[in-house]
Amino acid sequence: MAAFITHQGLVAPMDRANVDTDAIMPKQYLKCIFKTGYGGWAFDDWRYLDAGDVDTDVSSRRLNPEFELNNPAYQGASILLARENFGCGSSREHAVWGIRDLGFKVIIASSFADIFYNNCFNNGVLPVRLHPEQIDYLFSLAGQGLWLTVDLAQQLILLPNGEQLAFQIEPKRREKMLQGLDNIATTLLQRRDILLFESRHQTSHPYYFLTLR
């Protein structure tokens, strides 16, 4: 996972509350076993006018011109702006994979569902919580082609007019993002102690390690 320190990007506004994980990544795509390649299916039912499946060529599908992320003004956006309770619903990690593969590095909302929030950190997507009034303010600017700089090191969002919006990330999560560590990489930092424990455990409990012949 790449380290996240600062990111500058175009904002795509999704003026919706309670966006659930089934809307982000519908159930027919959960059969895939890979962790990448989900960008073409993100927000599938909203994004396309016709139904799709894992075997459908997304380039042949008709885009819904009413869906906000299909707006040409927001193509190439890497910061998603939404309302409260983003990522509610089931715990499918595929939802974060889809948003990440669609090109989003940051999601800004007033609140997130807990499991989705955790999954973001484990997959290199920064979820930023702001007060509803601050979210309203960003929405008022987003239609003009808003670019933001998100500075995780200083926990600040920098606006083009010089304004700054402060946010808070739990210290352990922040440090892991700054270093580009997911849960597995964090565990492997303790590899020496793990190997030492395993060696001692095998010596003190040899009967656990007997093999049948």
- 45-94 pLDDT, tens per residue? 999 999 999 999 999 999 999 999 999 999 999 999 999 999 999 999 99
pLDDT in tens, 109-163: 999 999 999 999 999 999 999 999 999 999 999 988 999 999 999 999 999 999 9
Residue 165 CA to residue 155 CA, distance in Å, equals 9
**pLDDT for res 185:** 73
Q: Report in angstroms the alpha-carbon separations of 129 from 82, 169, 177, 184.
A: 10, 9, 16, 25
Q: How many CA atoms lie within 13 Å of 125's alpha carbon, on the beta-carbon side?
A: 27
CB 79 within 8 A of CB 6: no
49, amino acid identity: L
Per-residue pLDDT band for 213 (boundaries 50, 70, 90) equals: low
CA pair distance 70, 64, nearest whole angstrom: 7
Distance between CA atoms of residues 26 and 148, nearest Å: 30
Q: What pLDDT score does 156 carry? A: 98
Residue 212 pLDDT grade (very low, low, confident, very high; cuts 50, 70, 90):
low
* pLDDT band per the 50, 70, 90 thresholds, residue 189: low
Task: Map out the domains of the chain with their CATH numbers.
Answer: 6-183 (3.20.19.10)
**Do residues 173 and 119 lie in contact, with contact meaning Cβ atoms separated by under 8 Å?**
no
The pLDDT value recorded for residue 198 is 80
Residue 96 CB neighbours (<10 A) = 30
